[in-house]
Amino acid sequence: MRTISDVFLIVFVVGLWLFISEASTGAPTRLIDYYAGDYSSTTDGHIFQSRVKNTRLLKTRRGYKYDIQYNFVLSGKSYYSHRVNFLSSNWRVAIETVNKYPKGSKVKVYYDKSNPNYSTLEITELSYQAWGQVFAAVILAIISITLLPLSLFR
């Protein structure tokens, strides 16, 4: 019989994986944004930051991503976003994206009319990496349920 502590361990393991995944790849946020928004409306926007960002989760592992930030105005209200697309990034992709969206350029912004906080510059499919992170979290939950009985620790 599973106890509250068993459930807590499962939630903790899956939550820790999602936290690490978010910090290293941003996959959980991409997944939520992809399905939460209806990106059918468009407006003009302005890029106010465009750079390649060096990310590092561990001292030995380097990562690169683009840091594109833009704003757009709807009915007199300004909105700010960093979502370019729903794909993952590496050094080559980061350089290409920064070159495609230089600071100061005007862009077409796709946004959700009912919630303009959901916006993107490109309509793309969801990255395979985001699904991989979700799959890994499910596998961790299954392992926690079946292979890690807490009775060993009591």
Tens of pLDDT, residue by residue over 25-81, are 566 666 667 677 788 899 999 999 999 987 765 566 667 788 999 999 999 999 999
Q: How far apart are CA 44 and CA 110, in angstroms?
A: 9
| Global confidence as pTM | 0.69
Angle between helices 128-146 and 27-36 (to 10 degrees): 110
**Total count of residues recorded for the chain:** 154
Query: H helices within the chain, ranges in order?
Result: 4-24, 27-36, 91-100, 128-146
Q: Mean per-residue pLDDT for 74-92?
A: 86
Q: What's the first-to-final CA gap in the chain, in angstroms?
A: 14
pLDDT surpasses 70 at 147: no
pLDDT surpasses 90 at 104: yes
72, 109 contact by CB (below 8 A)? yes
pLDDT surpasses 90 at 3: no
Q: Mean per-residue pLDDT for 104-118?
A: 94
Q: Mean per-residue pLDDT for 3-16?
A: 71
106, 99 contact by CB (below 8 A)? no
Q: Where are the domains of the chain?
A: 4-153
Q: How far apart are CA 34 and CA 111, in angstroms?
A: 11
What burial class does residue 77 get, using C-beta atoms within 10 Å of its C-beta: 0-12 exposed, 13-18 middle, 19+ buried?
A: exposed
pLDDT surpasses 60 at 154: no
